[in-house]
Chain A
Amino acid sequence: MTYIAKPKMHHPMLAPNALGFTRRDYEGSVSTLCAGCGHDSISAAIIQACFELDLPPHRIAKLSGIGCSSKTPDYFLGNSHGFNTVHGRMPSVLTGANLANRDLIYLGVSGDGDSASIGFGQFAHSIRRGVNMVYIVENNGVYGLTKGQFSATSDKGSKSKRGVLNHEAGIDLVSLALQMGASFVARSFSGDKAQLTPLIKGALQHHGAAFIDCISPCVQFNNHAGSTKSFDYVRDHNEAMNRLDVSMPRAPIHVDYQPGATTVVTQHDGGVLSLHKLAEHYDPSDRVGALAFLQERLARGEIATGLLFVDPMARDLHDSLGTVDAPLNTLGDAELTPGAAVLERLNAGWR
């Protein structure tokens, strides 16, 4: 693989956002993933979400682990700092980065091998700490870069390209995120950009640990009959709980849906989530109810998608630690070093 920069030219009529950036300003280098890879659709949705939210690209830090999914941060937000860390350990690096500067937006991109196998622990612990981040797992149920081994999110009974049946139980990262206390939990499908983009926007506006499990079929190794992560299977078994519209802070709320079927949620930073209910009796503010509901659907082989849980007033790790408002990486000598006089007093106490 070599680095391929995208040409800078773009259509002169390309519409800018409120910051004067066009959609192209949120792109990265040319993807080196396989043609038709679901991950590229997710990158496109991330680009769209950041563009629509008028986010300054340099105020976003994108972090990833190792794997196909973890390569994608190179393919979006070329003006953002990125960090392709080590396998399964993106969550800890993101946690440290977030502690150093609470003012940036942290976007963690991972895969099912990265987060459900080698990094299962870090995935769980970063969420239970309430790190303010968007954590996206591009979930294809397979190891792509090493050519087709099952991953831990492969469903039991799912068949590999070579015809082998998976006999190990699949890990449902959404259920786990809910259990671990994620305050924004969604599942989507790379083939449904209309659903995915608003979910990413909502997650970016969320204050707290936001987790999105995005099923993203692997066109090379996991898109055959018998796989439960193929395009066809996911389309057939996808059941959307709701449809989401995200508006900017203080923007007028526009509701097209039937009154009573739409829940309006205002998040910490003022961003508004308008949730149009598609499934009866699904309440995304009820963590325990959501868990039970998801288990039930899972047992039936259905894939529940949409915004599955949100706590709009969640606290994050900085709130828990009571850190100063200024980013820790901006503090200087005066704020950090107690000085010689303090040291003299300490010395006296050790005599």
Chain B
Amino acid sequence: MQRPVAGINDFVVKFANVNGSGSASANALFAKSVLRMGVPVAARNIFPSNIQGLPTWYEVRVTEAGHLGRRGGVDLMVAMNPQTWDRDLAEIEPGGYLLYDSTKPMPPSKFRSDVTVLGVPLTALCNDKYTQARERQLFKNTIYVGALAAFLGMELGVIEQLLAEQFAGRDKLIAANVDALHTGHAYVRAHFQPIDLQVRRCDQVGERIFVDGNTASALGAVYGGATVCAWYPITPSTSLAEAFSEFCEDYRRDPDGKARFAIVQAEDEIASIGIVVGAGWNGARAFTCTSGPGVSLMQEFIGLSYFAEIPAVIFDVQRGGPSTGMPTRTQQSDLHAAAYASHGDTKHPLLLPRNPAECFEFGALAFDLADRLQTTVFVMLDLDIGMNDWLTDPLKWDDARRIDRGKVLGPEELEAGAEFGRYLDVDGDGIPYRTYPGSHPSRGAYFTRGTSRNPYARYSEEGAVYVDNMQRLLRKFDTAKSLIPAPLRLDAAEPTGVGVIYFGSTTPAMHEALAVLQAHGLHLDALRVRGFPFCDAVFDFIAEHERVFVVEQNRDGQLRAMLVNEGGVDPAKLPSILHFDGTPITARFIVAAISERMDASQPARIAEATG
């Protein structure tokens, strides 16, 4: 038999469950318990477009080294779903483990000779203890957490503490869960030895927090001063609006209980962005959150926001496209739909956060940028960042920071006789001054429209007037370069002519891959792009290198096309590394793809070494 895989604080556990069985909280409990022992985890939900009955998985990478990307492969499968048994079994690495409910005997043909089988009679244990069907269902989950704790050498006290926090104030529930936890733990202690995968207390988590990107983005919107939110439910963005709503309940009620916010669940994405544009026009900070199909529907309004110069913020939590695509899978495939949204010549700033901490930072920043630039600003999350809990830096806020409303002429300035031309480029940065409706009895009113107009907002179809305005919009976009978060560069240990550009949720897998490649003598300088328009540093980086890989999670190399398009870069210089099957990209994938192209003689060896 194959030697069992061994690992201390470095292995992957995958839970195969049935949607709606209550497994999610037990699985999260497991992940958080590992974290509380000071060991970093990367946890990901893999779920279908379904409420109850279909298969769902939860993958936890235990990683003392702090590799937060998906690793690929499974060392320990917790197989709780008979429907997916065969594929779950097949996914286990040679020498891995299978934990299953052994209440009903399974024929030997259902196992693999190179996998260690850990049979725990979960149903039988439940049936002995509980009489109600719902109890049997829910506590079975807690029992397997107890069993895992025993196999993996985890501290029960840590799990008990988490249960106490989770069910604070409901002592009966705490006691019942602790009891179930001990039931699973005691059974395994009585019947098995601990396995070679072990969680051992260390101190690698530090101050970091464990939160999902949608929640962090919603909080960013609260801190960024958003008062109006209009949205339409769509996976994977729905929890962003819901989190905003909860935060507003907690932090945006005045002493009389009145709301310092207005949230409308609109009839569709068109109305959502319409409400946002109306609120932005009238001087409130407003946003919507959506995914690709919503961005498709919003195109016309985004063009209006661009041309009439109205602030708006859109959080696009990207999923697998096109069309309905893979609604519960992740991709970075809306870059073009967002960056060049709407008919005519348009361009829109994008912010590209890499994790929930940046979701918060960029979420708040987006509102300043939208006001400053008087246009739609996109915050481009994806399902991986948006819906999964990530170990991320604590969220930070500087109390000295003030909301930047950009160029607004208020009643005092208007009264003092400030010259006002709504589309007049007074400062040479392409950004005109605006007024809020109702500011002054006789000054500052203008007619906003999506049609061509002169600098004083008067309708005009004169060619020269139109061209001037379009050129000014380009100047404004140029100004945006200095406001968008700058790219971050990581240089290789040795000088190299090869670079790599990446962004967003690819980051942890990319960083892990860089370390592996470097260990094998393949050196790459790396640049993480954090927004669009690209500033000069991005094109300087490309110019400095002979060849720059562009790694992204879509089929068509959308970021690469934008680099070629915006910077006049020779496409041959930018080979694409593309991952778009709907699962988060892995270091293994990147290493294999890059090493194959950099060192054709030994890709297999290097790729293998990452496992």
Does B540 count as interface, using CB distance less than 8 angstroms?
no
Contact among B223, B228, B394, B397 for A99, CB-based, below 8 A: B228
Interface segment among A36-44, A268-276, A329-337: the answer is A329-337
Find residues 112-154 in chain A having any chain B CB closer than 8 Å to their own CB.
121-122, 125, 129
A328/B262 in contact, CB under 8 A:
yes
A97/B279 in contact, CB under 8 A:
yes
Find residues 252-305 in chain B having any chain A CB closer than 8 Å to their own CB.
252, 254, 257-264, 266-268, 270-284, 286, 300-301, 304
What residue of chain B has the Cβ atom nearest to residue A332's Cβ? Answer: B403
How close is B242's CB to chain A, nearest CB, in angstroms? 16
**CA–CA, A332 to B282, complex, Å?**
15
Interface segment among A231-239, A277-285, A343-351: the answer is A343-351
B438/A125 in contact, CB under 8 A:
no
A346/B275 in contact, CB under 8 A:
no
Interface segment among B175-183, B439-447, B493-501, B517-525: the answer is B439-447
B275/A86 in contact, CB under 8 A:
no
A321/B458 in contact, CB under 8 A:
no
A3/B458 in contact, CB under 8 A:
yes
Does A35 count as interface, using CB distance less than 8 angstroms?
no
Does A9 count as interface, using CB distance less than 8 angstroms?
no
Chain A, residues 273-307, CB within 8 Å of chain B (1/0): the string is: 00000000000000000000000000000000000
Residues from chain B with a CB closer than 8 A to the CB of A61 are 282, 437-438
B278/A343 in contact, CB under 8 A:
no
Residues from chain B with a CB closer than 8 A to the CB of A338 are 222-223, 251
B281/A93 in contact, CB under 8 A:
yes
How close is A29's CB to chain B, nearest CB, in angstroms? 9
**CA–CA, A122 to B23, complex, Å?**
41
Residues from chain B with a CB closer than 8 A to the CB of A325 are 258
**CA–CA, A95 to B280, complex, Å?**
11
Contact-residue size bin, chain A (C-beta under 8 Å from the other chain): 35 or more
Does B170 count as interface, using CB distance less than 8 angstroms?
no
How close is B396's CB to chain A, nearest CB, in angstroms? 7
Interface segment among A76-84, A185-193, A220-228: the answer is A76-84
Residues from chain A with a CB closer than 8 A to the CB of B264 are 95, 99, 129, 317
A342-B267 contact in complex given A61-B438, A95-B275, A96-B276, C-beta closer than 8 Å: no
Residues from chain A with a CB closer than 8 A to the CB of B275 are 92-93, 95-96, 99
Residues from chain A with a CB closer than 8 A to the CB of B447 are 73-74, 81-84
20 residue pairs from A and B, CB less than 8 Å apart: A3-B458, A3-B460, A58-B437, A61-B437, A82-B448, A85-B277, A85-B450, A93-B277, A95-B230, A96-B230, A96-B282, A97-B282, A99-B284, A100-B228, A100-B278, A329-B436, A336-B225, A337-B223, A340-B397, A340-B399
Residues of A that sit less than 8 Å from B by CB: 1-3, 56-59, 61, 63, 73-74, 78-86, 89, 91-101, 103-104, 121-122, 125, 129, 317-318, 321-325, 328-329, 331-333, 335-340, 342-343, 346-347, 350-351
Residues of B that sit less than 8 Å from A by CB: 35, 205, 207-211, 219, 222-223, 225, 227-228, 230, 251-252, 254, 257-264, 266-268, 270-284, 286, 300-301, 304, 394-399, 401-403, 435-442, 445-451, 458-461
